[in-house]
Amino acid sequence: MQKPSTGKPEESGTGFETTAQAYLELLASRGIEYFFGNAGTDFASIVDAFALRQSRGKTFPQPIAVPHEIPLVSMAYGYYMITGKPPAAMVHVGVGTANGLGALMAASKGRVPMLFSAGRTPITEAGDAASRRVFIHWGQESFDQAGMLREYVKWDYELRRSDQLETVVDRALTVAMSEPRGPVYLMLPLEVMAAPFAAENFRPRPRYDLPRFQPAAQKVEDAARLLRQAEFPLIITSSVGRTSAAVDALAELAESGKVGVVSFNPDFMNLPLDHPCHLGFFPHTLIPLADLILVVECDVPWYPNQIKPEESTPIIQIGVDPLYGDYPIRGFHSDLTLQGDPVLTLSEISRSLKRQGFNEKRLAAREKKLQEIHETLRHTLQQKAQNAANDVPIDMSWVALNINQRLGADTIVVNEYDNSMREQPNLLAGRYFSSPHAGYLGWGLGAALGAKLACPDDTVIATVGDGCYLFGVPSACHAVSAMYQLPILIVVNNNQRWEAVRRGTRALHPDGWAARTNNFPLSDVAPAACYEKICEAFGGYGERVEHPDQIKPALDRALDVVQTEKRQALLNIISK
């Protein structure tokens, strides 16, 4: 059996005593800046390797201890949202994997690459210094530890030998970063991590070239021709705004072709709300008007049980994986499918449109219709928010409008509530992130902390409901904020219930007992805790807000704490 490290510090230039030491050095050489960890006994060699690196002044990857796996995975998610760099995360064997699985589902559907790893219960019962030594080492072992998450990762593997470390890690990172991106899972047995490492120096970079998807040239021409001929084409998107370049490409296509854009269930800022081609956030009133629909990076472009396009309406689907092959059922048809990088695809269609030319009369008619719809939309949204200025309990649209007045180029909004940019035209590309479409709740707090870690000089605002706040393991999030000086503002819209449950019940049973009696069992979160006190317990600022005229001064006080005092803050807003 291979013997683990003696624990003596390695001498500079003598290589690595353990696989764990080599693993951290390899991650550093691959550009991994942060290592999000929730440690257990399986971390022993990792802990020792970090201690060695710190004694030598090596700062990356920086270990970030997170007291629960949900915010751990969510922080890694938020860090990637801002940087575009894959993070490393590690949890405790199968039990930690299970705790983080919900957040990993969100990362999977959000196409977030991360090296998600876990220790493994020691393989051996005796004969190795790393063999089993406590009772949990028997009870924790799984027949197939990766089986519980295999549906939600692109690749999984167990490191079996120290000499395969570089190959395994490089493959993991390359698979994670290849399109469509997503998490991968690597199990790290304690005996292997503690074993001596005798390999030569690592390559300076992986010998893998990431493929880039580019749409077929003829399909680009066909899409441009259909766009040129349509009377009222419509773009529906949810996720094109993953990059600011994609937002620019979408805006260019919309402007040049006078094409309306609906940002349906957006998890990013796809097109500025004040852009003349922005037609709102719900396509169902516009679909009957459209004689061509482009579905761009959108998994669900409409709800077929409510409305769907006419059979004669051509449907073009565009994206890295435009047919969403990882969805078990998705019946939105595609008459023309363009698979590729959305920046390349949209830009190529714009260039093709310019080559083919436009019917100016048709273009002018499109522009006039867009202007009418857009102006009505903006007036309606603003008027609704202003009309709610005196509502008690407080209306979320009034809160969002006041947040908008405080948004700057250095502000990031992470939303896990109904704050879907309707009242926030000041949001910029790459500065708004909303709930991933897996439907996993509890993502927002950790994602906001990950964003703050990535952009420490920016102001990060997390807007969440009280249900999502509780799902996010708030004590762990407040602890991380204090531990690593990551001051963020958390706005809790506290209606003391899960409103989505009530809405769903009313929609299915409009004349049912719940609707008739206004009694919705299993949907209340009352009486609510004083959430502001939880923040205060970790050295932050907390305030309860009950009246709409308190919103402005409360936001100003909380933001001053975050920006000037560098402390976290929470506003507990009693809302509808």
5 belongs to a structural domain: no
Judge whether residue 160 has pLDDT over 70. yes
Confidence band of 9 (pLDDT split at 50, 70, 90)? very low
Over residues 29-48, the pLDDT tens digits come to 999 999 999 999 999 999 99
Last residue of a domain, one of 381, 403, 425: 381
Averaged pLDDT, 287-298 = 98
205 belongs to a structural domain: no
Quote the pLDDT of residue 398.
94
Last residue of a domain, one of 127, 161, 194: 194
Over residues 535-565, the pLDDT tens digits come to 999 999 999 999 999 999 999 999 999 999 9
Tokens of 253: 């296509």
> Is 235 in the same domain as 346?
yes
% of the chain with per-residue pLDDT over 90: 88
CA distance 64 to 298: 34
Quote the pLDDT of residue 535.
98
User: Element (H or E) spanning 233, and its range?
Assistant: strand 233-237
> Is 431 in the same domain as 489?
yes
13 belongs to a structural domain: no
519 belongs to a structural domain: yes
Alpha helices in 141-243 (DSSP H): 165-177, 190-194, 217-229
CA distance 423 to 403: 9
**Angle at CA 257, nearest 5°, toward 256 and 263?**
100
CA distance 226 to 1: 67
> Is 463 in the same domain as 329?
no
For the chain, what is the mean pLDDT?
94
Quote the pLDDT of residue 213.
84
Q: Which of 151, 186, 157 is nearest to 326 (CA)?
A: 151
Alpha helices in 34-164 (DSSP H): 44-55, 69-83, 93-109, 136-139
CB 119 within 8 A of CB 42: yes
CB 52 within 8 A of CB 10: yes
> Is 375 in the same domain as 426?
no
DSSP 561: I
Averaged pLDDT, 224-251 = 96
Question: How many domains does one find in the chain?
Answer: 3
Over residues 300-309, the pLDDT tens digits come to 999 999 999 9
Candidate ranges 105-114, 212-221, 422-431, 520-529; pick with highest mean pLDDT: 105-114
> Is 256 in the same domain as 163?
no
> Is 130 in the same domain as 186?
yes
Find residue 36's DSSP bridge partners: 64, 89
Write down the residue that tokens 């007045």 correspond to: 405
Which residues form the domain of 406?
388-574
Q: 563 to each of 122, 354, 427, 448, 492, how far by Cα in Å?
A: 46, 47, 19, 15, 19
> Is 188 in the same domain as 234?
no
200 belongs to a structural domain: no
CA distance 389 to 574: 14
Lowest-pLDDT choice from 193-202, 404-413, 507-516: 193-202
Beta-carbon count within 10 A of 384 CB: 15
* Strands 315-319, 489-494: pairing kind: unpaired
Averaged pLDDT, 189-215 = 88
Averaged pLDDT, 407-417 = 95
User: Element (H or E) spanning 119, and its range?
Assistant: strand 115-120
Averaged pLDDT, 115-137 = 93
Over residues 316-358, the pLDDT tens digits come to 999 999 999 999 999 999 999 999 999 999 999 999 999 998 8
Q: What is the CATH number of the domain that holds 556?
A: 3.40.50.970
Averaged pLDDT, 116-128 = 94
Greater model confidence, 361 or 478 = 478
> Is 393 in the same domain as 373?
no
2 belongs to a structural domain: no
Q: Which of 42, 40, 33 is nearest to 68 (CA)?
A: 40
Confidence band of 201 (pLDDT split at 50, 70, 90)? confident
Find residue 434's DSSP bridge partners: 415
530 belongs to a structural domain: yes
Greater model confidence, 7 or 521 = 521
**Angle at CA 453, nearest 5°, toward 448 and 457?**
100
State the burial class of residue 200 (Cβ atoms within 10 Å of its Cβ: 0-12, 13-18, 19+): exposed
Quote the pLDDT of residue 15.
75
Last residue of a domain, one of 338, 360, 381: 381
> Is 284 in the same domain as 425?
no
Averaged pLDDT, 231-239 = 97
Over residues 440-477, the pLDDT tens digits come to 999 999 999 999 999 999 999 999 999 999 999 999 99
Three-class DSSP category at 443: coil
> Is 237 in the same domain as 173?
no
Write down the residue that tokens 């004969």 correspond to: 127
**What distance lies between CA 183 and its chain's CA centroid?**
12
% of the chain with per-residue pLDDT over 70: 97
> Is 393 in the same domain as 278?
no
> Is 528 in the same domain as 404?
yes
Q: Which residues have a Cβ under 8 Å from the Cβ of 167 and sit 6 or more positions away?
A: none
337 belongs to a structural domain: yes
| Helix (H), strand (E), coil (C) string for 281-349 | CCCCCCHHHCCEEEEECCCCCCCCCCCCCCCCCCEEEEECCCCCCCCCCCCCCCCEEEECCHHHHHHHH
Quote the pLDDT of residue 419.
65
CA distance 490 to 536: 12
Confidence band of 68 (pLDDT split at 50, 70, 90)? very high
CA distance 384 to 381: 5
Q: What is the CATH number of the domain that holds 337?
A: 3.40.50.1220
* Strands 541-545, 569-574: pairing kind: parallel
**Angle at CA 389, nearest 5°, toward 385 and 394?**
95
